[in-house]
C-alpha cells in the first residue's frame, strides 16, 4: 500500500483551491523528520451527532494520512453508508463497527495515529451517547487535550457538560471548544460568541489551564488546517495549528519513582528479577529501592529490557529490576526509591463514575484494582452526587448508570496510593463486581481519610485460639438464608438447643431481633438490606473471635452480601445453609402476616413478592423447610459443624 502520491498530494482547502503539501521523498527523510518529534494524545468528545468522527476523518485527510486502498474504500463506503450524498463522508474513516455505520453514531473508542511535520498524534474518538460514558472515560484517561465539539445549532447540551466535567476529572488541562457546523448558520459570529461565553462561564470551576474556542466546519474544512475566509471575524489559531503548538501539562512528581510489580521473573535458579512498567520517575543502577508494603530495601544491580541492559530507566519503559539481594516481593507490590517512600491507606475519598445499569449501594462489597494491587472494598458512604448541568451537589443513596459521585471507600488491606492529581497511576482505580466480574466504576482518589491514620489495631493478650481452647470447640458461623417463613429461625433455635446440650457456647443473631436494636434505623430498601447484612457480618466476626458458634437467621437475599460475609469471616469458618422452602409454602404459613400485606401493596419491598431473592449457588447444606423433619436436619448440621 502506498500514499498517493509519495512526494506531494493535493490537500483539501477551504478556499476551494487545492493546496500542495510537500512530504519527505524517502523513508530515511521521513524517519529523520519524526525522530525527535513529541507525541500528543487528544480526544474528541461531546454530544451525539456533533461531528466528532467527521472531524477526525477530516484531520486524517488534511494530514495526508490515507493510503490508496483506504481512500478507495472510503469512496465506496461513502456511497453505501454515507450521509453526504455523493460527497465523501469523513466519519466513515473512524466509525469502524458495522453498528456504528448503520446507525451513524460512535459506540466504541476509536484510536487513530497520524503525524505532521511538527508533531505525532494519537486521537481517540469517543462516543457521544450517554450510555457509552464509560468509553469516554477510557479515552480521556491517557489524553493531554480534549476537543469538545458543540453543534452550533444546539449549543451546550447535558452531554457536553458531562464530557467537560469528565475531562477535568481525568486531569485534562487543555480544552478546545470546537463550535462545529458553522456553515449551517452562515458562520454567525454572534452564535459562536454566545456558545463561547456560555461554556467559559460553565467551566470556571473545572480548573482548565486553557480553553480555546474555534469556529469550524468539519465537513467543509473551515479552520481545520487553513484559516477560513468565511470567518473573517475570527483571529485565533486553526485547529491543527493549536494541536501542533500546545504544550501539554507536565506530569507531576517526576522525582518520585513508582514501579508496580507485574511479574516475578525467574527463568532459572540463578536469576530473580521484578518485571513491570516504570509508571513514574526514573531509576538508576545502584539506587536503593524500597518495597512499600514490607519496608524491605535493596539496591538495583541491573536494569534489563528485552534488548539490552540499561544504566537508567525512565517512566513508560518496560523493565526488569535485578536486585543485589533476595527480598520478599510479588505481583501487586509497589517499589519506590528508598529515600522517597510511598504512602498507604485503607480508607479514602474518591470520585466515582458509575458504569453499569445495576445500581451501586453503600455497604456493598466490590473488588478494587489500583495499578497491580487488588483488594476487596466497600463503599462506606455516598457523600453526594454531582449535578452535571449546574455543578452542584445532590444527596444520593445509590449510584445509577453514568452517575458521578464523591464517596468514601474502605479496603480490606492497606494499598499504596497517591491523589489522582499528583499521580494518575496510584490515584486511579476500578471497581469490579464480585459476581459478574464486570467493571462497575472508575474512581479517582481525592485524599486519604484522616481517621484511617488515627485508628490502629490493638494487640490483645488472648487470641481466638485461646478462647476456642477454653470453650472446647471451634468457632463457626452457620449462616441461614431463605425466604421469610421458610423455617430459618425454627431450625436455628433447634440447632442451638442441641449444641447447648453438647456443652458448646452458642448465640443466635436473628433478623427481627437485630432490627429492634443495632439495625433499628434501617428500612427494607436494597441499600438498607445491604447495610443490614454488613453490620450483621461484622458482629458475627467479633463473636467468632470470641470462640463461639454463631447462627444467623436472616433472609439475606443478595449473593454479593453473603459472599462479603464469607470473605469477612473467613471461608473456613463460614457454613452457608440454604433453607429451600417454596414460596407458596412460605406464603401459606405467613406467620407474621407479611405476605398478606405485601399482596395488598402495603409492603413495597417484600422479598419473594416485589423484591428479588438470589438463592445460593453452592451452599454448604440445603435444608428442606417444607417436608424434612427438623430433628434430622439438626443432626446433619451438627455433623457438619463438628467436622
Tens-place pLDDT, residues 222-231:
999 899 999 9
- Does a cis peptide bond (omega within 30 degrees of 0) precede residue 5? yes
Q: Annotate 406-418 with b (16+ C-beta within 10 A) or e (fewer).
A: bbbbbbbebbbbb
Are 571 and 491 in a shared domain? yes
Q: How far apart are CA 370 and CA 2, in angstroms?
A: 43
Per-residue three-class SS string for 565-596: HHHHHCHHHEEEEEECCCHHHHHHHCCCCHHH
Q: How far apart are CA 452 and CA 449, in angstroms?
A: 6
Which pLDDT score is estimated for 29? 61
Confidence of residue 1 (pLDDT cuts 50, 70, 90): very low
Are 518 and 559 in a shared domain? yes
Q: C-alpha angle 374/351/614, rounded to 5°?
A: 60
Closest CA to 218 of 77, 52, 76, 82: 52
Closest CA to 415 of 457, 459, 368: 368
Confidence of residue 101 (pLDDT cuts 50, 70, 90): very low
Confidence of residue 438 (pLDDT cuts 50, 70, 90): very high
Are 267 and 357 in a shared domain? no
Closest CA to 283 of 345, 334, 344: 334
pLDDT of residue 135 exceeding 60, the answer is yes
Are 513 and 558 in a shared domain? yes
Which pLDDT score is estimated for 64? 67
Q: How far apart are CA 356 and CA 401, in angstroms?
A: 5
Are 350 and 208 in a shared domain? no
Q: How far apart are CA 604 and CA 545, in angstroms?
A: 37
Q: Which three cell numbers stand for residue 550?
A: 454463631
In a domain, 596, yes or no: yes
Q: Which residue range is the domain that position 139 belongs to?
A: 38-53+100-245
Give the CATH number, domain containing residue 612: 3.40.50.300
In a domain, 558, yes or no: yes
Q: How far apart are CA 284 and CA 412, in angstroms?
A: 34
Closest CA to 426 of 458, 407, 448: 448
Q: How far apart are CA 88 and CA 86, in angstroms?
A: 7
Are 636 and 491 in a shared domain? yes
pLDDT digits (tens, 9 = 90+) for 238-262: 999 999 999 876 555 567 899 999 9
In a domain, 278, yes or no: yes
Q: How far apart are CA 20 and CA 344, in angstroms?
A: 57
pLDDT digits (tens, 9 = 90+) for 353-389: 998 889 999 888 899 999 999 999 999 999 999 988 7
Q: How far apart are CA 53 and CA 77, in angstroms?
A: 15
CB neighbour class for 239 (10 Å; exposed up to 12, middle 13-18, buried from 19):
buried
Are 495 and 587 in a shared domain? yes
Confidence of residue 94 (pLDDT cuts 50, 70, 90): low
Are 216 and 266 in a shared domain? no
In a domain, 15, yes or no: no
Q: Which three cell numbers stand for residue 336?
A: 519506590
Residue that finishes a domain, picked among 425, 451, 477:
451
- Kindly state the percentage of the chain with pLDDT values over 90: 52
Can you say how many angstroms the Cα of residue 373 is from the centroid of all Cα atoms in its chain?
A: 14
In a domain, 132, yes or no: yes
First-to-last alpha carbon distance for the chain, in angstroms, is 71
Confidence of residue 3 (pLDDT cuts 50, 70, 90): very low
Task: List the helix and strand counts (H, then E) for the chain.
Answer: 18, 32
Are 615 and 509 in a shared domain? yes
Are 233 and 297 in a shared domain? no
Q: Which three cell numbers stand for residue 622?
A: 440445603
User: Element (H or E) spanning 34, and its range?
Assistant: helix 27-34
- Across the strands, what pairs with 39? 120
In a domain, 492, yes or no: yes
Which residue reads 518485571 in cell numbers? 275
Residue that finishes a domain, picked among 283, 306, 337:
337
Are 394 and 329 in a shared domain? no
Q: Which three cell numbers stand for residue 636?
A: 446433619
Pairing label, strands 365-370, 373-387: antiparallel
CB neighbour class for 357 (10 Å; exposed up to 12, middle 13-18, buried from 19):
exposed
Can you say how many angstroms the Cα of residue 466 is from the centroid of all Cα atoms in its chain?
A: 43
For residues 51, 52, 53 and 59, what is the CA-based torsion angle, rounded to 10 degrees?
Answer: 100
Mind telling me the catalytic residues? Answer: 556
What are the residues whose beta carbons fall under 8 Å from the beta carbon of 429, sequence distance 6 or more? Answer: 350, 368, 369, 370, 442, 443, 445
Closest CA to 147 of 195, 212, 204: 212
Pairing label, strands 476-481, 428-432: unpaired
Give the CATH number, domain containing residue 416: 2.40.30.10
Q: How far apart are CA 260 and CA 251, in angstroms?
A: 18
pLDDT digits (tens, 9 = 90+) for 39-75: 899 998 888 777 887 888 788 777 765 555 555 665 5
**Domains: count for the chain:** 4
State the chain's mean pLDDT as an integer.
84
Residue that finishes a domain, picked among 217, 245, 273:
245
DSSP 189-206: HHHHHHHHHHHHHHHGGG
Are 438 and 480 in a shared domain? no
In a domain, 80, yes or no: no
Specify the range with the lowest mean pLDDT, choosing from 103-112, 314-323, 390-399, 536-545: 103-112
Q: Specify the pTM.
A: 0.73
pLDDT of residue 394 exceeding 80, the answer is yes
- Across the strands, what pairs with 381? 408
- Across the strands, what pairs with 110? 125
Which residue reads 470473605 in cell numbers? 567
What are the residues whose beta carbons fall under 8 Å from the beta carbon of 257, sequence distance 6 or more? Answer: 278, 280, 281, 282, 283, 287, 289, 335, 336, 337, 340
Q: Which three cell numbers stand for residue 600?
A: 395488598
In a domain, 351, yes or no: yes
Q: Annotate 33-64 with b (16+ C-beta within 10 A) or e (fewer).
A: eeeeeeebbbbbbbbbbbbbbbbbbbbbbbbb
- Kindly state the percentage of the chain with pLDDT values over 70: 84
Q: C-alpha angle 314/317/318, rounded to 5°?
A: 140
Rg, C-alpha atoms of the chain: 31
Closest CA to 258 of 317, 323, 305, 325: 317
Amino acid at each position: 500500500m502506498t500514499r498517493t502520491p509519495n512526494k506531494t498530494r493535493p490537500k483539501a482547502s477551504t478556499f476551494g483551491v487545492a493546496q500542495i503539501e510537500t512530504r519527505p521523498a524517502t523513508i530515511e527523510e521521513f524517519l529523520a523528520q519524526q525522530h525527535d518529534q513529541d507525541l500528543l494524545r487528544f480526544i474528541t468528545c461531546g454530544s451525539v451527532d456533533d461531528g466528532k468522527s467527521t472531524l477526525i476523518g477530516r484531520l486524517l485527510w488534511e494530514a495526508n494520512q490515507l493510503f490508496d486502498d483506504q481512500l478507495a474504500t472510503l469512496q465506496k463506503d461513502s456511497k453505501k453508508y454515507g450521509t453526504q450524498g455523493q460527497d465523501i463522508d469523513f466519519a466513515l474513516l473512524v466509525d469502524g463497527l458495522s453498528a456504528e455505520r448503520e446507525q451513524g453514531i460512535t459506540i466504541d473508542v476509536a484510536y487513530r495515529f497520524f503525524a505532521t511535520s511538527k508533531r505525532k498524534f494519537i486521537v481517540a474518538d469517543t462516543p457521544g451517547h450517554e450510555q457509552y460514558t464509560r468509553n469516554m472515560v477510557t479515552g480521556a484517561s491517557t489524553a493531554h487535550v480534549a476537543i469538545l465539539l458543540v453543534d452550533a445549532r444546539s449549543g451546550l447540551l447535558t452531554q457536553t457538560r458531562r464530557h467537560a466535567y469528565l475531562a477535568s476529572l481525568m486531569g485534562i488541562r487543555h480544552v478546545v471548544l470546537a463550535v462545529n457546523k458553522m456553515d449551517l448558520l452562515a458562520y454567525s459570529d454572534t452564535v459562536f460568541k454566545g456558545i463561547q461565553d456560555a461554556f467559559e462561564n460553565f467551566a470556571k470551576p473545572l480548573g482548565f489551564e486553557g480553553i480555546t474556542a474555534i469556529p469550524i466546519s468539519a465537513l467543509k474544512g473551515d479552520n481545520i488546517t487553513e484559516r477560513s475566509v468565511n470567518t473573517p471575524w475570527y483571529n485565533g489559531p486553526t485547529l491543527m495549528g493549536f494541536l501542533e503548538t500546545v504544550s501539554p501539562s507536565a506530569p507531576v512528581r517526576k522525582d518520585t519513582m513508582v514501579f508496580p510489580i507485574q511479574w516475578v521473573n525467574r527463568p532459572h535458579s540463578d536469576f530473580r528479577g521484578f518485571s513491570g512498567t516504570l509508571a513514574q520517575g526514573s531509576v538508576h543502577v545502584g539506587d536503593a529501592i524500597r518495597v512499600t508494603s514490607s519496608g524491605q530495601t535493596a539496591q538495583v544491580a541491573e536494569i534489563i529490557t528485552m534488548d539490552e541492559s540499561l544504566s537508567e530507566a525512565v517512566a513508560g519503559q518496560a523493565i526488569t529490576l535485578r536486585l543485589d539481594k533476595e527480598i520478599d516481593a510479588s505481583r501487586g507490590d509497589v517499589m519506590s526509591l528508598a529515600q522517597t517512600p510511598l504512602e498507604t491507606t485503607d480508607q479514602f475519598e474518591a470520585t466515582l463514575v458509575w458504569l453499569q445499569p445495576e445500581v451501586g449501594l453503600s455497604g456493598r462489597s466490590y473488588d478494587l484494582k489500583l495499578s497491580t494491587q487488588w483488594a476487596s472494598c466497600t463503599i462506606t458512604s455516598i457523600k453526594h452526587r454531582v449535578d452535571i448541568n449546574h455543578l452542584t451537589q445532590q444527596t444520593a443513596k445509590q449510584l445509577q448508570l453514568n452517575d458521578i459521585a464523591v464517596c468514601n471507600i474502605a479496603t480490606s488491606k492497606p494499598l499504596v496510593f497517591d491523589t489522582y492529581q499528583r499521580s494518575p497511576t496510584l490515584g486511579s482505580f476500578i471497581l469490579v463486581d464480585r459476581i459478574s466480574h464486570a467493571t462497575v466504576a472508575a474512581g479517582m482518589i481525592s485524599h486519604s481519610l484522616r481517621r484511617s491514620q488515627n485508628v490502629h489495631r490493638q494487640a490483645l493478650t488472648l487470641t481466638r485460639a485461646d478462647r476456642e481452647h477454653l470453650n472446647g470447640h471451634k468457632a463457626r458461623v452457620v449462616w441461614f438464608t431463605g425466604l421469610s417463613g421458610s423455617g430459618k429461625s425454627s431450625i436455628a433455635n433447634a440447632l442451638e438447643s442441641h449444641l447447648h446440650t453438647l456443652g458448646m457456647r452458642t448465640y443466635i443473631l436473628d433478623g427481627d431481633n437485630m432490627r429492634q436494636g443495632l439495625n433499628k434505623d434501617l428500612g427494607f430498601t436494597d441499600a438498607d438490606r445491604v447495610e443490614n447484612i454488613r453490620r450483621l457480618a461484622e458482629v458475627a466476626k467479633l463473636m467468632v473471635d470470641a470462640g463461639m458458634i454463631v447462627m444467623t437467621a436472616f433472609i439475606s437475599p443478595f449473593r454479593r452480601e453473603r459472599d462479603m460475609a464469607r470473605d469477612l469471616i473467613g471461608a473456613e469458618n463460614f457454613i452457608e445453609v440454604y433453607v429451600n422452602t417454596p414460596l407458596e409454602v412460605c406464603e401459606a404459613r405467613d406467620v407474621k402476616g407479611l405476605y398478606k400485606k405485601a399482596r395488598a401493596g402495603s409492603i413495597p419491598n417484600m422479598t419473594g413478592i416485589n423484591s428479588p431473592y438470589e438463592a445460593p449457588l453452592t451452599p454448604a447444606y440445603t435444608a428442606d423447610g417444607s417436608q424434612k423433619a427438623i430433628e434430622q436436619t439438626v443432626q446433619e448440621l451438627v455433623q457438619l459443624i463438628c467436622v
